[in-house]
Structure 1
Amino acid sequence: MLTPLHGGPDAMGVPRHDLSSNGNPCGAWPAALQALQHADARHYPDPAYTALRRQLGAWHGVATDRIVLAASASEFIQRISLAVALTAGPEAAVWQPAHAYGDYARAAQAAGLPMTDAPQRASLLWACEPSSPLGQADAGLPQRVAALRSSQTLVLDQAYEPLRLDGAPSLDGAAQERVWRLLTPNKALGLTGVRAAYAIAPRVVAPALWARLHALAPSWPLGAHGVALLQAWATPGCGTWLQACRATLRGWKARQIEGLRALDWRVEPSIAHFFVASCADWAGDGGLLKLETELAALRRHGIKLRDCASFGLPGRVRMAVAAPATQDALLATLRHGVPAVSALDCSPARRVVQ
Structure 2
Amino acid sequence: MTQLHTVQVLGGGSAGSSAHVRSLAAGLVARGVRVTVCAPVELDQAYDFLGAGAHFVPVPRRGDPVAIGTLRGACAGADVVHAHGLHASVRAGLALGPQRVPLVVTWHTRTHAEGARGRLLRLMERRTVRAAAVVLGTSSELVDRARRRGARDARLGPVSVPAPHAGTTESEAGKARAELGAMDRPLLVAVGALEPHRGYGTLLDASRLWLRHDPVPLVAVAGEGRQRPALQRRIDAEGLPVRLLGRRHDVTALLAAADVALLPSRWEARAPLAQEALRLGVPLVATAVGGVPELVGDAAELVPYGDAGALAGAVTALLTDPGRRAALAVAGRRQAATWPTEDETIAQVLSVYDELCAGPRARTP
Q: Same fold (TM over 0.5)?
A: no
Structure 1 or 2: more strand by fraction: 2
With CA pairs under 8 Å and 6+ residues apart, which has the higher RCO, 1 or 2? 1
Q: Which has the higher helix share?
A: 2
